[in-house]
Amino acid sequence: MAKITCRDYGFDCPYVIEGEVEHVIGEYQKHSNDEHGIEYSVEALTQVILRQQG
């Protein structure tokens, strides 16, 4: 199970996504692009998830 929040990236945004890694990455990419105008790579988001699980 993976989880990413906008607060992980310093945004004052309540968005949280949890679930399977691929789902979390895809949904967070969509949210961050649509809401914040920032595109994160799969690799960058994978690193966030791995750090949280480590």
**Structural domain boundaries enclosing 20:** 2-53
Tally of structural domains, the chain: 1
Q: What is the pLDDT of residues 1-54, one digit of tens each?
A: 899 999 988 899 999 999 999 999 999 999 999 999 999 999 999 998 898 887
| pLDDT at residue 10 in the model | 87
| pLDDT at residue 37 in the model | 95
| Phi and psi, residue 18, nearest 5° | -130, 150
Residue type, 37: G
